[in-house]
Amino acid sequence: MAEWSTACPDWEARILAGRTLVPDLPLFEAEAARAERIFNRLRIPDVIGKPTMAESGTEWLLPIVRAIFGSYDPEANRRQIQEFFWLVPKKNSKSSGAAAIMVTVLIVNRRPLAEALLVAPTKEIANIAYKQAWGIIQADPELAKLFHGQHHVRTITHRNSGASLQIRAADTDVITGSKATYTLIDETHVFAKKPRAADVFVEVRGALAARPDGFLIQVTTQSKDTPSGVFKQELETARKVRDGEMQLPLLPVLYELPARLVADGGWKERKLWPLVNPNMGRSVDETFLANQLLKAEQEGGDALALLASQHFNVQIGMGLGGNWAGAEFWGRGTDPTLSLDALLERSEVVCIGIDGGGLDDLFGLTVLGRDRATRDWLAWSHAWCHVGVLTRRKSIAVKLREFEAAGELTIVDDELKDIEAIVGIVERVKDAGLLARVGVDPAGLGELIEAFAGIEVTQEAKLLIGVSQGYGLMHAIKAAERKLANGTLRHSGSALASWCIANLKIEPTATAIRATKQNAGDAKIDVAMALFNAVALMATNPEPVNTRSVYETRGLRVA
């Protein structure tokens, strides 16, 4: 229904003015007012004096509470808005507010024996959530009489209606949710990393089909790394609904800064902090955040990324994550039109870098061309991995599947046709009269020597080069970052390449630097290393193999 549209196209103006991000809705006032009164009377058990929610200064929460409960039509027993996506930084009474909302629903619920479910990301957080909810109840003598707690299974039951709230941990408990009328998922970005997270969402939403009075609430901060999997999907859907691109019975409340204010570290301006921290001055201390920022700037990119994502809801991307200086400029170098075809058409000479190839690794390839008109460097990347990586590295399995769907990664079986595909790309560049040389890690030359011999790309022909690794790549690393900074290194905008760049860790010594992983195992960097191998060769300023590209005679060039 049009009157229940939850779009908030003026959200940027609202957040900059400090206004609520909940749009005007035709709420059932009696339901909204009743829930608001109950919510305001609940006491926060872990704060000195046990103030009520009303006394704790959480006025910004009230429009959300009113929308959750005021969208319920008591005559039709139907909730006009069944889903709520709430993105807010840490320490903004997120856990207290979530527990209070779930206690409120147990009080106002009309469905006999209704089940409510609060899913926490870990057992420790589930225990905290249970203590919070039970503490809220125990802080009010009347509620203490009304509810029964079973601490060993983290369950709270309404003595009259039989409605219950069960708190489960995503990392240890079996989550089905198939019978839950009310579900609240805390920290979706963590929960989404569970292998069956997508299945759980299907079950929870399936329960809503049979329980039109129910709801699903997601309360989360930003992800600590690039959004992926279920969290990425849920966040993108929430943004589309907020922006009016999609209409669903979903209310998004996203405390995030407009992209133009985040760029180039703009989120560090203190005047912006209260805009995304609505509890600033209460549960959020500005001086604490300022000190954390000062510390993070000393510690480098990883610490800044963590601070920005968790306390300012800045989505991890290039310029955040990793500590390679070039990462800050990677996003600026994106050219979405730069396919492999386009690169070959525009280039006068091409160097190719290759890295990786183990069964627990990616096999990364970067084609680096030099533009015949501007002499800018143009990069296109692809990677391959064995299907076994998906089981050995479950934490990145969803991410790898996304890269596969985007056409940036090929997952191979035991036939290992990755080398065949790599040889095919190299042969294509060679046949185009553009190949200067191919650079690889000398440790990985063995299998490639035989494969490339079939297309006459050999060490004897000076077309296959072992590129010095470790500190030997220092000049390539520095050349790449300088070319990114001055805008003369362009790339296709591959999400896989961006992920590998963000995973880089630069280790300095007194006289040199080397590139390695942020974290052993899961933090793949093979595409980034393939880029550096290609840069090491291109930095020698190779002469064009042919003065005219074969593409000039194939009808692909436009004068």
| pLDDT confidence of residue 518 | 55
The DSSP letter of residue 194 is S
Residue 539 φ then ψ, to 5°? -65, -15
CA 399-405-411 angle, to 5 degrees, is 75
Residue pair 187/219 in contact by the 8 Å Cβ criterion: yes
Query: CA-to-CA distance for 179 and 115, rounded, in angstroms?
Result: 7
Query: CA-to-CA distance for 368 and 378, rounded, in angstroms?
Result: 5
Helix/strand/coil (H, E, C) string of 106-139?
A: HHHCCCCCCEEEEEECCHHHHHHHHHHHHHHHHC
Reported as a single tens digit per residue, the pLDDT across 297-334 is: 888 767 888 899 999 999 876 444 556 888 878 888 99
* Length of the chain counted residue by residue: 559
Q: Looking at mean pLDDT, say which of 85-99, 115-129, 424-438 comes out highest.
A: 424-438
pLDDT beyond 60 at 3: yes
Structure confidence at residue 393 as a pLDDT band (50, 70, 90): confident
For 340-483, where are the E strands, in sequence order? 347-356, 362-371, 377-386, 409-412, 435-440, 464-466
CA distances (Å), origin 68, targets 100, 104, 153, 360: 13, 11, 27, 46
The DSSP letter of residue 451 is H
pLDDT beyond 80 at 425: yes
pLDDT beyond 80 at 399: yes
Residue 314 φ then ψ, to 5°? -85, 120
Residue pair 203/194 in contact by the 8 Å Cβ criterion: no
Query: CA-to-CA distance for 140 and 96, rounded, in angstroms?
Result: 15
Residues 521-525 have a mean pLDDT of: 76
How many CB atoms sit inside 10 A of residue 371's CB? 16
| pLDDT confidence of residue 444 | 67
Handedness of CA 322, 514, 264, 366 (dihedral sign): negative
- Does an H or E element contain 251, and which? strand 250-254
End-to-end alpha carbon distance in the chain:
54
Query: CA-to-CA distance for 28 and 213, rounded, in angstroms?
Result: 14
Query: CA-to-CA distance for 403 and 157, rounded, in angstroms?
Result: 45
Radius of gyration of the chain (CA): 27
Query: CA-to-CA distance for 61 and 82, rounded, in angstroms?
Result: 18
Given phi > 0 = left and psi -120 to 50 = alpha, else beta, which region is 6? alpha
- pTM confidence score: 0.73
Reported as a single tens digit per residue, the pLDDT across 526-542 is: 999 999 999 999 999 99
pLDDT beyond 90 at 177: no
Q: Looking at mean pLDDT, say which of 89-98, 134-143, 178-187, 470-479 comes out highest.
A: 134-143
* Residue 549, token pair as written in the block: 């590209």
Structure confidence at residue 414 as a pLDDT band (50, 70, 90): confident
Residue pair 216/83 in contact by the 8 Å Cβ criterion: yes
CA 447-448-450 angle, to 5 degrees, is 80
Query: CA-to-CA distance for 408 and 400, rounded, in angstroms?
Result: 9
pLDDT beyond 50 at 559: no
Burial of 265 (0-12, 13-18, 19+ CB in 10 A): middle
Helix (H, G, I), strand (E, B) or coil at 362: strand
Half-sphere exposure of 476 (CA within 13 A, CB side): 24
Query: CA-to-CA distance for 342 and 422, rounded, in angstroms?
Result: 18
Reported as a single tens digit per residue, the pLDDT across 13-36 is: 999 999 999 999 999 999 999 999
Lowest-pLDDT choice from 56-60, 148-152, 322-326, 446-450: 322-326
Query: CA-to-CA distance for 68 and 285, rounded, in angstroms?
Result: 28
| pLDDT confidence of residue 306 | 87
Query: CA-to-CA distance for 308 and 313, rounded, in angstroms?
Result: 6
The DSSP letter of residue 380 is E
| pLDDT confidence of residue 552 | 52
Among candidate residues 449, 430, 420, 462, the one with its CA nearest the CA of residue 350: 430
Among candidate residues 382, 376, 369, 364, the one with its CA nearest the CA of residue 342: 369
pLDDT beyond 50 at 246: yes
| pLDDT confidence of residue 517 | 64
Residue pair 178/208 in contact by the 8 Å Cβ criterion: no
Residue with tokens 């090929």: 410
Structural domains in the chain? Answer: 2-255 (3.40.50.300), 264-312 (no CATH), 327-553 (3.30.420.240)
